[in-house]
A = this chain, B = another copy of it.
Amino acid sequence: MSELDHQANLLGAFALAVADRTGAAMAAAGTAGNPTTAAALSALLHFLDRPSIDQLRRVLGLTPSGAVRLVDRLADAGLVTRGPGDDGRSRSVALTVEGRAAAERLSAARAESLRSTLAVLSPAERSTLDALIGRVIGGIVQEKEGGAWLCRLCDLAACGRDTGACPTANAAAAKYGAEAVRRDA
């Protein structure tokens, strides 16, 4: 059993633990209950101006009908409204006032959970961790194809993608071109 195996196993437990913990914090803060719903609200809040159902679908990694049903649910809950799209085919999705408030609560709960997770480290340790994580996540972006979008829960303001501080965005820009990354945001 190599050192690498040990490190890999710990990484897996760590990712699961952080994701669990963040998810629980969001659920507790929520009008969300559901990870997909939470991701949709977060995406609508941070990333996409007035995305179409199809754009949302791609961010979340759902089927078209699944995305339609998701928007149905959000609309029934009064969190979202459908409007005209860029196209005769597509429709735009926008947060209501209530939806925006719910999304902001979710996002704040996520951030708070993650900040408290990092609180055991000193500032210097956090910087080191941050740099290493940036390297690893860059590698993941290089390999990744399909599925839900990595940054579906990210806080755009905290991420720093516009100032080049986000390693995920930088890796994506290197892979797909800076223009594509800006378009997605």
Contact = CB atoms under 8 A, between A and B. Distances in A.
Interface of A: 1, 3-22, 24, 110-111, 114-121, 123, 125-130, 132-140, 143-144, 147-148, 150-155, 157-160, 165-168
Contacts of A154: 9, 12-13
A159 B20 contact: no
A contacts with B: majority SS: helix
Given A120-B135, A132-B125, A158-B1, A22 B12 contact: yes
Given A10-B167, A22-B12, A135 B121 contact: yes
13 contacts: A10-B137, A10-B168, A12-B22, A12-B110, A14-B136, A15-B19, A15-B22, A18-B136, A21-B140, A21-B144, A117-B140, A125-B135, A129-B133
Given A13-B150, A132-B128, A138 B120 contact: yes
A5 B160 CA distance: 10
Given A10-B137, A129-B136, 10 more contacts: A5-B111, A10-B167, A11-B130, A13-B153, A15-B16, A15-B19, A16-B19, A17-B168, A121-B135, A129-B133
Contacts of A127: 3, 7
Nearest to A114: B8
A150 B16 CA distance: 7
Which 8 pairs from chain A and chain B are nearest by CB?
A: A15-B18, A8-B114, A120-B139, A9-B158, A5-B158, A19-B19, A129-B132, A8-B115
Contacts of A167: 10
Contact of A130 (B10, B20, B22, B165): B10
A11 to B, nearest CB: 5
Query: Among the interface residues A133, A152, A154, which one has the most CB atoms of the partner chain B within 10 A?
Result: A133
